[in-house]
Amino acid sequence: NMQTEDEDEASCEEYVARSDFTGSSTDQLSFSRGDRLLVHAKPSSEWWWAELQGVIGYVPASYMSQDAAGEEEEDPSIEDPWQDEEYFGNYGTLRLHLEMLSDKSRTEAYRQVILSNSASLSSKRVMDLGCGTGIISLFCAQLARPSMVYAVEASSMAEYTRQLVKQNGYDEVVTVLQGRAEEIELPEQVDVLVSEWMGNCLLFEFMVESVLLARDRWLRDGGTIWPSSAALTFVPCQADSYYAEKMAFWERPYGLDFTPLQPLAQQEFFTKPKFSHIIEPCDCLAAPCDVISLDMYTLQVGDLEEMKGQFHFCVEKSGVFHGFTAWFTVCFESLEAGGATVELNTGPNSGPTHWKQTLFMLDRPVSVCAGDSISGTIVLQRNPVWRRHMTVTLHWTIKGSTDNPDNSQAGTKSFPMWR
Ligand SMILES: N=C(N)NC/C=C/[C@H]1O[C@@H](n2cnc3c(N)ncnc32)[C@H](O)[C@@H]1O
């Protein structure tokens, strides 16, 4: 039902942009912090249809603020950009700790780090950032002889962690401090800073920021940070079963044609990355490639705002290119020069982990042949408002191999994680 102009104006709402936004496709508006936008419709919770100086397009709803127009500073007490209440609330329950402790690949990798460095850990001072139930700190006390381990945990789990330390007779070696690593005070600097901070797609949750701040404040010069380095790995892949389940399903359910729902399915199921995807090695269409590498000694908090990477894949076998799958690897250098490095690889050729892998589905699958190339860039854009979130923007070009050079097409897509 078409509304008349003035009615339409009446149903519009004015919002203020919380921060700058650069549209990544022609149907998205770009705007600056403080711009006043007229929201005409809210077709989904993520993207609204809005107008700015006569131009209409999609805007990310999370950037829209209805604070009293003109109020410059968003009141963080209303909406904490770090969502710490919810975040640390979740970690105050056992569910996530049970999941992480049950992840053998993850937990045994950290145990191996302590075990293989046990001699060098003698008389060392250690900080375990975000210790959770304290498993890494307990490994240090159980397998080595550090002079002190400061186990820092912001959630209410910390009081139980203290009990676990005492229960196992390590209260002389492990000191549990409840609080955010950014705010607590240690009595001294440490020789080793260890943390298990990696989120989905390596960076989600952005706990890594806390690790960098603690490194700069509490790790002595020449100290060791574990993990020492991290890499985000991508591969172009098939995702037949996921595509069949979410998209092909609408072709002929019960002998009926439901294909008009496919645009909705694409919007609802393929707009965000799919966490906890398990990719089989045979789904990989090319050799994986590290698109982003982080050196934990030199990485700066500012670098986290926008990280860029490039990729170039040579398709090794013909198939359907449904999207990209991502995972990460972290390395723990030895405390002694020349000692063995321990690696935790969360990819399809290593043991399963609770992170599994992350699947980025293209809007439309593309058939590719062996010899084709898929090259492009990835940009991880940290969300300026919701500080634990980011957007992953992919640009790719598919070039036919020499015998079918005309099969060349380009694409781009932005995936919010999550806001
Ligand atoms: N690996 C992932 N994704 N999460 C694993 C681990 C997260 C644990 O670290 C704690 N944590 C996170 N950030 C901080 C901080 N800044 N200060 C103190 N404790 C913190 C959380 O409460 C969890 O117990």
pLDDT in tens, 358-376: 999 999 999 999 999 999 9
Q: Ligand 1 test: best mutation among 153, 183, 358, most atoms within 8 Å of CB?
A: 153
Examine the residue annotation and report whether 268 is marked as an active-site residue of this protein.
no
CA of 267 relative to ligand 1 center, distance in Å: 32
Rg of the chain, C-alpha, whole Å: 24
Cβ within 8 Å of residue 382, ≥6 positions away = 206, 304, 305, 306, 389, 390
CA of 266 relative to ligand 1 center, distance in Å: 34
Task: Specify the pLDDT at position 403.
Answer: 65
Atom of ligand 1 nearest to the CA of 199: 3
Lowest mean pLDDT among 20-24, 124-128, 168-172: 20-24
**Cβ contact 192:121 at 8 Å:** yes
**Over the range 392-415, which residues count as b (16 or more CB within 10 Å of their CB) and which as e?**
bbbbbebbbeeeeeeeeeebebbb
Task: Specify the pLDDT at position 1.
Answer: 31
Q: Which residue has the CA at smallest separation from atom 8 of ligand 1?
A: 130
CA of 207 relative to ligand 1 center, distance in Å: 7
Average pLDDT of span 37-49 = 89
The ipTM, to two decimals, is 0.99
Atom of ligand 1 nearest to the CA of 182: 16
Q: Single out the catalytic residue among 46, 86, 172, 205.
A: 205
- Give the residue with greater pLDDT, 203 vs 403: 203
Q: How would residue 119 be classed by pLDDT, with cut points 50, 70 and 90?
A: very high
The pLDDT of residue 62 is above 90: no
Examine the residue annotation and report whether 251 is marked as an active-site residue of this protein.
no
Q: Ligand 1 test: best mutation among 207, 387, 390, most atoms within 8 Å of CB?
A: 207
CA dist., res. 308 & res. 201, Å (int): 14
CA dist., res. 127 & res. 192, Å (int): 6
Joined tokens for residue 163: 């009990």
- Give the residue with greater pLDDT, 114 vs 6: 114
Task: Specify the pLDDT at position 24.
Answer: 81
The pLDDT of residue 140 is above 70: yes
CA dist., res. 409 & res. 366, Å (int): 9
Cβ within 8 Å of residue 248, ≥6 positions away = none
Mean pLDDT value across the chain = 93
- CA 154 to chain CA centroid, Å, is 20
**Over the range 70-94, which residues count as b (16 or more CB within 10 Å of their CB) and which as e?**
eeeebeeeeeeebbeeebbeebbee
Q: Single out the catalytic residue among 7, 9, 159, 196.
A: 196
Cβ within 8 Å of residue 38, ≥6 positions away = 12, 13, 14, 50, 51, 52
CA dist., res. 146 & res. 217, Å (int): 20
The pLDDT of residue 87 is above 50: yes
Average pLDDT of span 110-132 = 98
Task: Specify the pLDDT at position 194.
Answer: 99
Pocket, ligand 1, Cβ cutoff 6 A: 88, 91, 130, 132, 152-155, 157, 180-182, 196-199, 205, 207, 210
- Integer angstrom CA distances of residue 307 from 172, 391, 392: 42, 11, 10
Cross-strand partners of 192: 126, 224
pLDDT in tens, 208-242: 999 999 999 999 999 999 999 999 999 999 999 99
